Amino acid sequence: MSVAKILSNRIELSNVSQSFLSNDKKITLFSDVNLSIQQGHSYAITGPSGSGKSSLLTLMSGLCEPTTGNCQYQDANGTIPLPQIRDKIGFIFQQFHLLPELNALNNVALPLKLRGHKGALDKARYWLEKVGLEDRMQHKPSQLSGGEQQRVAIARALVFNPEFIFADEPTGNLDPGSAAEISQLLLSSCSENGAGLVIVTHSERLATQAEFSLSLPVKPFEWHSSEVEKSHGKENQNKENHNKGSQQGERHYA
């Protein structure tokens, strides 16, 4: 994958707002958000419970639509609405969402089988080996530890070579040792695969390992370079590339 391609493919949030009704009262999570997510880079979203982290993540990934504004995929050929490029996006859920009746191998192969890919099992084996589960492929989720289930979920998200991975609290249910291993595995796998990575996390340690971070409810909504990015001397130029417009994101509800 060329550097030019990585830099040209991105997800753009333009004037995005999200709200919902609660007891006939309109609650606004955030408004007028303008952000850019580039393939090949890593991002972390932090903040207290109820600040809209997971809602923002589902918007970025195309799992739901904003109340107002646009979430679009952009490459050298133009702009496409996110729901139309699901084959370019992988999602890792906090609760894993593995199918209990399938073993690890078939859970990972399932996205490829649903897309009609040949060699689905071979590719699933490759990724299970990459995440260190070569001896657990025939085990069902109930026979795996929490850390092992998360590894299966990571392999499943990466098996079809997506351009972007979105992870909602990927270490939230793990002990500190497993959390550290999963964090490193996720970051290294996405880097090796050339995928953009966006993580929602309460872990300061994990957040600082990403190149850019966004802390809710602090406004304006914009990516800030992490120590990882600063150590390479690229923070100023890359911040301009990842933050768009006035970015006067407002937060009305915590």
**pLDDT of amino acid 8:** 64
91 pLDDT band, cuts 50/70/90, is very high
**pLDDT of amino acid 77:** 86
Cα distance between residue 105 and residue 244, in whole Å: 41
**pLDDT of amino acid 214:** 93
- pLDDT tens figures, 217-253: 877 788 999 865 555 555 555 555 666 543 443 333 3
Q: What is the CATH number that goes with domain 3-242?
A: 3.40.50.300
**pLDDT of amino acid 107:** 98
* Half-sphere exposure for 247 (CA within 13 Å, toward CB): 20
Residues 6+ apart with CB under 8 A from 252: 27, 28, 29, 30, 31
Tell me what the pLDDT averaged over the chain comes to: 86
Cα distance between residue 170 and residue 153, in whole Å: 9
- pLDDT tens figures, 164-218: 999 999 988 888 888 888 899 899 989 988 999 999 999 988 999 999 999 988 7
**pLDDT of amino acid 166:** 97
- Separation in Å, CA 163 to CA 7, 75, 80, 143, 191: 11, 11, 14, 31, 11
**pLDDT of amino acid 127:** 94
- pLDDT tens figures, 14-49: 999 999 888 889 988 888 899 999 999 999 999 988
**pLDDT of amino acid 4:** 41
Q: Where are the domains of the chain?
A: 3-242
Cα distance between residue 239 and residue 220, in whole Å: 13
- pLDDT tens figures, 134-152: 999 999 999 999 999 999 9
Tell me which amino acid residue 129 is.
Answer: E
**pLDDT of amino acid 174:** 84
